[in-house]
Amino acid sequence: MTFQEKYERWLASPAVDEATKAELRAADDIEERFYKDLEFGTGGLRGILGAGTNRMNSYTVRQATQGLASYICDMGPEATARGVVISYDSRHRSAEFAMESARVLAANGVKAYVFDALRPTPELSFSVRELGAFAGIMITASHNPAKYNGYKVYGEDGAQLTAGADTVIRYVNNCDIFDDVKVISEEEGKAKGLIQMVGAELDEAFYAAVLAQSILPDLDRDSLKIVYTPFHGTGYKPVTEVLSRAGFHHVTVVPEQALPDPDFSTVKSPNPEEKEGFARAIEIAKEQDADIIIGTDPDADRIGVVAKNADGEYQVFTGNQTGVLLTEYILSQKKAAGKLHPGDYVVSTIVSTKMGQQVAKRYGADFYEVFTGFKFIAAVIAEMEQKQAGNYLFGFEESYGYLPGTYARDKDAVAAALLVCELAAFYKQQGMGFAEALDSLYQTYGYYTEKLVSVVMEGKDGMEKMAAIMASIAANPPKQLGGVRVVALRDYNKELRYDFAAGTTAPLALGKSNVLYFELENDWFFVIRPSGTEPKIKLYFGVVGDSSADGMAKIAALETEVRNLLV
């Protein structure tokens, strides 16, 4: 069906409300809205809000939910009775999309547990496990700009779908957006007991699970001064509640960014990876001489850290730097307490810092690498639990995601906030700050330096360009980058590793993914992959230098050469 035919079908369909039709008649980007269907992938949906098949709206949400409901129904009555937990963040139409999902599930006889107000992604993950539900839905576009929203599907283990994902995708793709969708009213769903509102009872259970992740619960925390911004999202209540219960009594919340705001009006982007969003928090920290600043993204699964250094300046920490600081803290304290056992392990992603592996090695912990995405970390946890082969200690990814326990199976900025503040208090008692602690790690392990570059390629032409770039680089891989020899190429799309020095080829074990990983000399790396959730191609660089400045200079040389490959 052409984009024009899809457009005309929407205008003619009695299933489409008049407001949506009016939006379409006034639109001047019809081809962009209809040239494809918004793809339901392993991460669910994510797209720009608006009318059309290539947009996030009630109809695309209903279609996705109908596919999920049909899959659950085919799993039998036990699955439908266990039901689906639904949560949502502060974005435009998030609450509406959550209830639309519940109405479709209920129409199919599937129980829906809907949170009575916005809640963070990690609490959704936890609640799927806590309620013994068959699946979960989180309405969020994470840290994307305000024009986006999204729809994530979780399995019964509380992780984003991996096992069974392809089957659910087929159900969704085989569902007609109008003709196959069943929906009933919210009132009817509640009257039948198929839509149940949940809230406070799950909050309490979640808080208890998070507080149990404390490494040094008897540590004095009262002197630490904290500034916190929830970036207008879901983190405000859970983060402040957990910190208060843990004994952190000097927490100042950035007032302009405390309450939910779907426009994220005080920041260019609600992304804790970007320093600009912390501008107001840094002003407040300077006024109060605060020790540390933390910021959580709209669905509170990522956290950014800014801390005062020895010069009194507020230094921004990357996701990798926070990840290795937490890894060192958890492993060193467990080792000191005699709680580190053979087979205990840390998990990270192939694009995250290699220093994490060195930390694990020093303390005798196992270390596993996985593809980008916390669902792959969750898959390792599930596999190891099944084998009863060691305890999960910590998981992190460079994109500011951390999980210290197995109570949830997605990254958790609430628990990370607790541990970051606990770590800051731990160092403060030793007369150190985060910056001094990080420098100590560099002196121990080497100056590992990393950088992520995202190149935006929106629209139909952008997708085609990304595909062409990946194909071209795979066919003609560079043998030298930044003046350093490329040792090998891991082409995860072909699941093969090409050793250029030996001239050999060997299979890769992680699985298939559209990722090209270049191994360079001196423990350097470069990775290129299209984002699975955003219209951009991502470039990851990692080097080991003689200092932080030397590391950044080496990365700059790498980046210059790599950008030439994108032309």
Task: Name the residues annotated as catalytic.
Answer: 142
Separation between Cα atoms, residue 7 and residue 31, nearest integer Å: 9
182 dihedral zone (left: phi>0; alpha: psi -120 to 50; beta): beta
> Is residue 450 helix, strand or coil?
strand
Phi, psi for residue 313 in degrees, rounded to 5: -90, 155
Report the chain's terminal Cα–Cα distance, integer Å.
33
Separation between Cα atoms, residue 436 and residue 444, nearest integer Å: 12
Structural contact between residues 307 and 434, judged by C-beta atoms closer than 8 angstroms? yes
Structure-token match 């300046």, residue found: 313
> Is residue 113 helix, strand or coil?
strand
DSSP-derived secondary structure letter, 456: E
Structural contact between residues 361 and 354, judged by C-beta atoms closer than 8 angstroms? no
Closest CA to 40 of 415, 462, 533, 396: 533
**Structure token digits, residue 284:** 């407040």
The length of the chain is 567
Rg (CA), the chain: 24
- Residues β-bridged to residue 112: 84, 195
Separation between Cα atoms, residue 158 and residue 408, nearest integer Å: 6
Structural contact between residues 23 and 17, judged by C-beta atoms closer than 8 angstroms? no
**Structure token digits, residue 116:** 């009575």
H runs (alpha helix) in 174-318 = 186-191, 200-211, 236-245, 279-288
Structural contact between residues 357 and 365, judged by C-beta atoms closer than 8 angstroms? no
Distances (CA, A) of 451 to 227, 454, 515, 531: 26, 10, 17, 16
Residue 284 neighbours by CB under 8 Å, 6+ apart: 227, 252, 254, 290
Distances (CA, A) of 249 to 120, 246, 303, 314, 479: 23, 9, 20, 21, 55
